[in-house]
Amino acid sequence: MSHRCVAVASTVIGVVALTPLFAMAQAAELPRTPWGAPNLQGVWDFRSITPMERPAGLADKEFLTEEEAVNLEQEAIDRNERLLNQPAERAPVLRSLEARPEGKPGFYNNFWLDEGTKTVGTRRTSLIVDPPDGKIPPLIPAAEEQRAADRAARRGVTFHQPSPGGGVEDLGQGGLQLRCITGQNSGPPMTPGGYNNNMQVFQTADYVVLLNEMTYFRIVPLDGPAHVDLPQWTGDARGHWEGETLVVETANFLRETSFLLGESDANLHLVERFTRVSPETLMYEATIDDPTVWTRPWTFQVPMELNDQPLYEYACHEGNYGLTNILAGAR
């Protein structure tokens, strides 16, 4: 073996040997709780203009170039500025609020929306990291048939309206959010949405609390008893530590959640991972396994950035006074 080969081999071995030390050093620099666990506490902002699925035009392109990411972010800034400064317009009387174009009277104007102007720091073309094509896996045949039946039943019905004859069991695509049961981005799992993209973490040695800004919180026991057979809207969550990562496994869902407008069902098994990868960044990863909906499990990631602002109350229907009219109209 030549001296060069020996030198290269020695370098590679040295790097491999030192990698765990670098990782340990980095972990040691991150904040920890008084009882020694990774400290995940704080308000975490998960706004992102990166789409859940890879756009068709990007095909097999897993990552954007730096220039492409900058251009997308500038387009988002320019769009917000254009909508902010557009001329006032009188909204005609319409049957549905959703019938208005984006940012125009009759719908939320863009002032109230807060989707962010940044792509994820990795510059991925999708939040989905598995499958490698960045696409949500196909539905199983039975789920596809059910979706087709649902679309037929809701033909001519707008987003926030229950299907004809519904209102109790059939809440419609936006029904969980409209009735303040779960928020539009709270899922679970959590996904970037139109606004209120913040989540606060509280920790003790035995529990973690995940408080989503939009409506809901989850209390997660750590290394506690097995799942209980009690279906709930946000499932039954149990947490444990795997090294520096908090792993939260959730099962026993009552039915769909607000995730993907209700596409999951009661058979969802959800695994969420929370890893503080830097003082300013919490990596959130969710693996969705629902065998009665999708043909295979799939995973997405959202880097959450530390927010120095407090979390404010989201009052939903301001005391739910609107629910009387909502339910009366549905019936």
Per-residue pLDDT of 122-139, as tens digits, reads: 999 999 999 999 999 999
Residue with tokens 């998960």: 46
pLDDT of residue 312: 87
91 and 222: one domain?
A: no
Is residue 273 included in any domain, yes or no?
A: yes
Report field, pTM of the whole predicted structure over 0.75? yes
Residue-wise pLDDT tens digits, 254-290:
999 999 988 999 999 999 999 999 999 999 999 999 9
Q: How far is CA 211 from the centre of its chain?
A: 13
* Collapsed DSSP state (helix, strand, coil) of residue 66: helix
Is residue 280 included in any domain, yes or no?
A: yes
Question: Taking 80 as the threshold, does the pLDDT of residue 89 lie above it?
Answer: no
pLDDT of residue 83: 85
pLDDT of residue 104: 60
Look at 9 and 125; give whichever has higher pLDDT.
Answer: 125
pLDDT of residue 181: 83
The pLDDT confidence band at residue 5, using thresholds 50, 70 and 90, is very low
Lowest-confidence region among 26-40, 55-69, 86-100:
86-100
Residue-wise pLDDT tens digits, 140-164:
999 999 999 888 888 887 777 777 7
Q: Look at residues 199, 197, 205 and name the one whose alpha carbon lies nearest to residue 224.
A: 205
Mean pLDDT for 24-32 is 68
1 and 114: one domain?
A: no
Residue 249's φ and ψ, nearest 5 degrees, are -105, 130
Output the six-digit token pair for 188: 């679970």
For residues 210, 211, 216 and 221, what is the CA-based torsion angle, rounded to 10 degrees?
30
Domain boundary among 77, 93, 118: 118
What contacts 194, CB < 8 A, 6 or more positions away?
108, 113, 114, 115, 184, 185
What contacts 231, CB < 8 A, 6 or more positions away?
252, 253, 254, 255, 266
216 and 167: one domain?
A: yes
Determine the Cα–Cα distance for residues 266 and 256; give it in Å rounded to an integer.
6
Q: How many domains does the chain have?
A: 3
pLDDT of residue 14: 42
100 and 186: one domain?
A: no
Look at 40 and 262; give whichever has higher pLDDT.
Answer: 40
pLDDT of residue 2: 44
Q: Which domain holds residue 326?
A: 44-64+126-330
Residue 12's φ and ψ, nearest 5 degrees, are -60, -45
Residue-wise pLDDT tens digits, 179-234:
788 888 999 999 999 899 999 999 999 999 999 998 788 999 998 788 888 999 99
156 and 280: one domain?
A: yes
147 and 93: one domain?
A: no
176 and 52: one domain?
A: yes
Question: Taking 50 as the threshold, does the pLDDT of residue 10 lie above it?
Answer: no
pLDDT of residue 177: 81
Is residue 248 included in any domain, yes or no?
A: yes
Is residue 35 included in any domain, yes or no?
A: no
Is residue 223 included in any domain, yes or no?
A: yes
Is residue 154 included in any domain, yes or no?
A: yes
Is residue 80 included in any domain, yes or no?
A: yes
pLDDT of residue 3: 39
Is residue 39 included in any domain, yes or no?
A: no
60 and 70: one domain?
A: no
The pLDDT confidence band at residue 243, using thresholds 50, 70 and 90, is very high
